[in-house]
A and B are shown apart, each in its own frame.
Chain A
Amino acid sequence: MARLNSPEELENFRQEILSKRDPQAPCISICAGAGCIASGAAEVITAFKAELAKQGLTTAVDTKGTGCPGFCERGPVVVIYPEEICYLQVTPEDVPEIVSQTIKEKKVVDRLLYVDPATGEKAIHESDISFYKNQERNIIGSNIKIDPKSIEDYLAIGGYSALVKVLSGMTAEQVLAEVKKSNLRGRGGAGFPTGIKWEGTRNAPEPVKYVIVNADEGDPGAFMDRALLEGNPHSILEGLIIGAYAIGAHEGYIYVRQEYPLAVENINLAIEQAEAYGLLGKNILDSGFDFKVIVHQGAGAFVCGESTALMTALEGRVGEPRPKYVRSNIKGLWERPSVLNNVETWANVPLIINKGADWFTQIGTESSKGTKIFSLVGKITNTGLVEVPMGITLKDIIYKIGGGIPEGKKFKAVQTGGPSGGCIPEEQLDLKVGFDELTKAGSMMGSGGMIVMDEDTCMVDVARYFIHFLTDESCGKCVPCREGLRQMHKILTNITEGKGKTGDIETLEELSEVAKEASLCALGKSAPNPFLSTLHYFRDEYEAHVKEKRCPALSCKELISYYIDPAKCQACMICARKCPAEAIDGGKNRIHVIDQEKCTNCGTCFEVCPPRFRAVKKISGEPVPAPVSEEERIISRKSKEK
């Protein structure tokens, strides 16, 4: 590895890499992101390598484990280039067939293709799949094309060309102006304009400044930043170097949670490679600009994703937030001006420099530009990472991309913005996704978590769950958050257990006000959101729990009863045999009855009752009907009598 001493040398090196690669040569890309690895991608990669060797194709066909393309629901995902044939849920057993059919014979293996559930049509290419078709994958789209451990792969797709552009002819002011013009807003949660943040730091008098990558992603169910850091670490590094150049920082930190071992490994490797090529370190590409990057592993506290807590942790102290009356871009890490941006924000920077702010501002709404990656999870057909233009409606994300709610259930709400976001109900599904739009609806953009809930979800229980998460993750420094959330959690738990009292909702509202107005950091200030938004849109559910001791979603265990409808029970014995509490009385031709005293509300009978009978009912807020008399319980089957 020779150090590259000028932008020209880098471009020459890129040409050299490209000249050795035949774009028409077959290449098998297998997602090696965390989700697909969990579904067995590592075995698939091994199987491909073995099969190619067996068929004598190792030199002719390239195989690579790549970053996550997002379609986690159907992993492991395999894409075969140059045709871009996309196979889903590939197992090692499928590999010999793929090699002999697709690689050798150029034939498509039909059974591994995506089948559109609506039309029944098969999609050969990634871009034909409805999940991908409606996305705009400017950032995450590169993941499947590169081996994240190879800087050559990144260079081959044009990587570091933005850095070349910057160092070979743009002043720091010009870079800053371009980013400002792009109206890029921080992807980590608050949506603060990136350019303005940078400008504040650049203009701060203190000469030593820092740039920081916030990769302390901690929202339950969110993994956007993980996928980027694991799948395309150089793109983040490139954005960071450009940012440091614009700001005048010579030291950068990447704060990544230790629970992301692959991300830590890949970013460390990327830094090593970039240093070896002279893209990091002293006098980068002979520009006179020095910059070094240090990776810091966080211990997994959610609150450390808060910018001031993160900086305190970087300083080696307990990760507690500090008052932000002086912004951290003026007085941050070690009291010096520090720009802290989220992973996805940094990943946007090379694109803006390469394609220009005008290109970037074409995408999105008036106040939210560009694309945003969401992690679409919960009661949704296509779980995964989706990148969409700002301004797309929630409905399009959930139905066109996400494929709607599985098992024919009804949509109820979507929770956006992570644990301190809010729930948006069905009547708001036409809402356009953007920072201000989501805030107006009582939720927030957050870092891009999107949890879909169906009719079986109890909204009070959802609020209880998130408040519990936040209580657990509170750093404990300030009273409104530590004590207020603890009490909110107690009250919400009581409500879901049927112990709610008149006045509880008002107490929760008051505690919400105190947390919102008086907490030290954003964790506490936004923590009441899950309660406030569910109360706003689903007040009737709260009232049903408190006043009628009824859970309308039939979800809160303490508030429901199971009951066998004597008119429907066919005395098949299935539920009686499966009941772990032995609470079901019944026999052959004798209608079954649940002993309510013994029943633990586990729901097994409800699940095992054959769909053609549907005799087990879940009820809430009403007394269980008295069992029918013994005579009436006997089923006389006419056909058998004869």
Chain B
Amino acid sequence: MSEILLQIDGKEVKAREGMTVLEAARAAGISIPTLCHHEKLEPYGGCRLCIVEVEVRGRTNLVVSCVYLAAKDLVVRTRSEKVDRIRKTILELLLAHAPDAFELQNLAKVYGADKNRFEKDASFCIHCGLCVRYCAEVKKKNAIGFVDRGTRKEISFIPEIASRECWSCKECFPLCPTSALQAAYVLTQGLFTPPSPKPGPEK
């Protein structure tokens, strides 16, 4: 694997080919906030919090550093007025769902995000998919998945698999950025609520 030199926040940074900008930055001790990223998992690009500015051939673009590959002579800026503004809004959007999550609150302090900006819709889940992907990619059990789509999307344990696998594992619980109890709650619900036919589309 050949080495690449790139510049992150004015600092020369070495990266291996195939590394993402996020990996290169973290290896060099430069922090970029993430919510859906996990070292053991395939990059997902869902939370968009790790957005950074890159300069390619004189043009500045906004890219998501967890999936954007490091390249030779790339110039990366992990903070800018625009990047911070976008991160602030993303946090505010998520705080509407999980206003008391520590991880979100800590980030909110950094970016000046107001947890009361948007109408609350407490669902706690911010759809980072860490539990779902960890169970699929690392544990290879698929005991938890996403159901439905878009704004109606939610995590759900599959009772048949969960009843067999989950009690002795629970490794997804601490991954949850909004509350470790979230997964536990959904798990319990999944196991103790008899499956009922899904109600029809909202009228």
A301-B149, A323-B67, A520-B45 known; A487 and B118 CB under 8 Å?
Answer: yes
Q: Are A483 and B48 in contact (CB under 8 A)?
A: no
The closest CB in chain A to the CB of B90 belongs to A479
Q: Mark A498-521, 1 if CB is under 8 A from B, else 0.
A: 000000000000110110011110
Chain A residue nearest to B66 in the complex (CB): A323
CB distance from A419 to the nearest CB of B (A): 14
Q: When A479-B46, A480-B48 are in contact, do A487 and B93 touch as well, CB less than 8 Å?
A: yes
Q: Which residues of A contact B48 (CB under 8 A)?
A: 478-480, 518-520
Contact B151 A471 (CB under 8 A): yes
In the assembled complex, B119 has its CB within 8 A of some CB on chain A: yes
B130 interface residue per 8 A CB criterion: no
Counting chain A CB atoms within 10 Å of each CB, the highest count among B82, B93, B149, B153 belongs to: B149
Q: Mark B62-96, 1 if CB is under 8 A from A, else 0.
A: 11100111000000000000100110011001101
Q: A483-B93, A484-B93, A511-B89 are in contact. Are A475 and B149 (CB under 8 A)?
A: yes
In the bound assembly, the distance between CA atoms of A476 and B152 in angstroms comes to 8
Q: How far is the CA of A519 from the CA of B89 in the complex (A)?
A: 13
Residues of B within 8 A of A318 (CB): 146
- Residue from B46, B94, B151 within 8 A of A520 (CB atoms): B46
- Quick check: is A482 within 8 A (CB to CB) of the other chain? yes
Minimal beta-carbon separation of B67 from chain A (angstroms)? 4
Separation of A490 and B49 alpha carbons in the complex (Å): 23
Bound-complex Cα distance A484 to B63 (A): 18
* Residues in chain B near residue A479, CB distance under 8 A: 46-49, 90, 93-94, 126-127
Flag if B46 contacts A483 (CB, 8 Å).
no
Residues of B within 8 A of A476 (CB): 127, 146, 149-153
Partner of A514, one of B43, B63, B86, B152: B86
B51 within 8 A of A: yes
Per-residue CB proximity of A453-481 to B under 8 Å, as 1/0?
A: 00000000000000000011111111110
Which residue of chain B lies nearest to A483 when distances are taken between CB atoms in the complex? Answer: B93
Q: Given the complex of chains A and B, what is the CA–CA distance between A476 and B43 in angstroms?
A: 16
Number of contact residues on B: which range applies?
A: 20 to 34
List, in ascending order, chain B residues with CB within 8 A of A326's CB.
69
Say yes or no: is A486 at the interface (Cβ < 8 Å to chain B): yes
* Known pairs A323-B67, A479-B94, A520-B45; A474 contacts B89 (CB<8 A): no
- Tell me, rounded to whole Å, the shortest Cβ–Cβ distance linking B68 to chain A: 5
* Pair A482/B150 contact, Cβ less than 8 Å: yes
Within 8 A of A (CB), among B138-157: 146, 149-153
Contacts A471-B151, A482-B151; is A514 near B64 (CB within 8 Å)? no
Say yes or no: B127 contacts A482, CB within 8 Å: yes
Q: Are B82 and A517 in contact (CB under 8 A)?
A: yes
Q: Which residues of chain A have C-beta atoms less than 8 A from B152's C-beta?
A: 476
B62 (CB) vs chain A CBs: closest residue: A517
Q: How far, in angstroms, from A475 to B48 measured CA to CA in the complex?
A: 15
The interface residues of chain B lying within 8 Å CB-to-CB of A322 are: 45
Query: In the complex the two chains form, is B118's CB within 8 Å of A475's CB?
Result: no
Within 91-122 of B, Cβ neighbours of A (below 8 Å) are at 93-94, 96-97, 118-119
- Given contacts A518-B48, A520-B45, are A480 and B151 in contact (CB under 8 A)? no
A514 touching B45, Cβ below 8 Å:
no
Q: Which residues of A contact B118 (CB under 8 A)?
A: 487
Q: How far is the CB of B41 from chain A (nearest CB, A)?
A: 14
Complex CA gap A476/B153 in Å reads 7
Q: A490-B119, A510-B89 are in contact. Are A323 and B150 (CB under 8 A)?
A: no
Q: Which residue of B is nearest A471, CB measured?
A: B151
CB <8 Å contact, A478 and B86: no
A388 to B82, CA, bound (A): 41
Contact of B51 among A477, A486, A511, A518 (CB under 8 A): A518
Q: Inside 8 A of A480's CB, which chain B residues have their CB?
A: 48, 86, 89-90, 93
Which listed residue, B43, B46, B68, B86, touches A513 by the CB 8 Å rule? B86
Residues of B within 8 A of A323 (CB): 43, 45, 64, 67-68
B151 touches A486 (CB 8 A): yes
Given A325-B67, A476-B149, A483-B96: A517 touches B86 (CB 8 Å cut-off): yes
A326 to B45, CA, bound (A): 14
How many Å lie between the Cα of A478 and that of B149 in the bound state? 12
* Interface contact B62-A518, CB-CB below 8 Å: yes
- Give, as a whole number of angstroms, the nearest-CB distance from A309 to chain B: 11
A contact residues around B119 at 8 Å (CB): 487, 490
Interface members, chain A 310-355 (any B CB < 8 Å): 318, 322-323, 325-326
Q: How far is the CA of A72 from the CA of B152 in the complex (A)?
A: 36
Contacting residues, chain A, for B49 (C-beta < 8 A): 479
From known contacts A474-B150, A518-B51, infer whether A483 and B45 are also in contact, taking CB-CB under 8 Å: no
Complex contacts, B85 vs chain A, CB 8 Å = 510, 513
List residues of A (518-535) whose CB comes within 8 Å of B's CBs.
518-520
In the assembled complex, how far is the CB of residue A123 from the closest CB belonging to chain B, in whole angstroms?
A: 45
Q: How far is the CA of A612 from the CA of B119 in the complex (A)?
A: 49
B93 touches A325 (CB 8 A): no
Looking at B44, B46, B48, B90, which has the most chain A CB atoms within 10 Å of its CB?
B48
Using an 8 Å CB-CB cutoff, how does the interface string of A394-418 with B read, 1 for contact, 0 for none? 0000000000000000000000000
A24 to B94, CA, bound (A): 70
Contact between A472 and B93 (Cβ–Cβ < 8 Å)? no
Q: Contact check, B151 vs A478: say whether CB atoms are below 8 A apart.
A: no
- For A301, the chain B residues whose CB sits under 8 A away are 149
Q: In the complex, A518 Cα to B150 Cα: how many Å?
A: 17
Residue on B nearest A486 in the bound complex, by CB? B151
Considering the complex, give the chain B residue whose CB is closest to the CB of A474. B150
A518: B residues at CB distance < 8 A: 48, 51, 62, 64, 86, 90
**Residues in B whose Cβ lies below 8 Å from that of A514:** 86, 89-90
Query: Is B68 within 8 A of A325, CB to CB?
Result: yes
Query: How far, in angstroms, from A520 to B89 measured CA to CA in the complex?
Result: 16
Bound state CA distance, A311 and B62, in angstroms? Answer: 24
Whole-angstrom distance between the alpha carbons of A476 and B127 in the complex? 8
Contacts of B67 in A (CB 8 A): 323, 325
**Residues in B whose Cβ lies below 8 Å from that of A490:** 119
Partner of B150, one of A325, A471, A484, A520: A471
Chain A residues whose C-beta falls within 8 Å of the C-beta of B44 in the assembled complex? 477
List chain B residues, Cβ under 8 A from A474: 149-151
Most buried by B among A474, A478, A510: A478
- Does B90 lie within 8 Å of A477, measured CB to CB? no
**Contact of A478 with B45 at beta-carbon distance under 8 Å, contacts A325-B63, A487-B118 already known:** yes
Q: Which residues of B are found within 8 Å of A510, using beta-carbon distances?
A: 85, 89
Which of A325, A478, A487, A513 touches B69 (beta carbons < 8 Å)? A325
Please, what's the 1-or-0 string for A436-460, where 1 marks a CB less than 8 Å from any CB in chain B?
A: 0000000000000000000000000
What are 17 sample pairs from A and B whose C-beta atoms fall under 8 A apart? A322-B45, A326-B69, A474-B149, A474-B150, A474-B151, A476-B152, A478-B47, A479-B47, A479-B49, A483-B90, A487-B118, A513-B86, A514-B86, A518-B48, A518-B86, A520-B45, A520-B48
In the A-B complex, list the 9 residue pairs whose CB atoms are closest, starting with the nearest.
A483-B93, A476-B153, A476-B150, A474-B150, A323-B67, A518-B48, A514-B89, A323-B45, A517-B62
Q: A325-B63, A479-B49, A517-B82 are in contact. List 4 more A-B contacts (CB 8 A).
A: A476-B146, A476-B150, A483-B96, A517-B62
Residue ranges of A at the interface with B (Cβ–Cβ < 8 Å) = 301, 318, 322-323, 325-326, 471-480, 482-484, 486-487, 490, 510-511, 513-514, 517-520
Seen from chain B, the residues whose Cβ lies within 8 Å of a Cβ on chain A are: 43-49, 51, 62-64, 67-69, 82, 85-86, 89-90, 93-94, 96-97, 118-119, 126-127, 146, 149-153
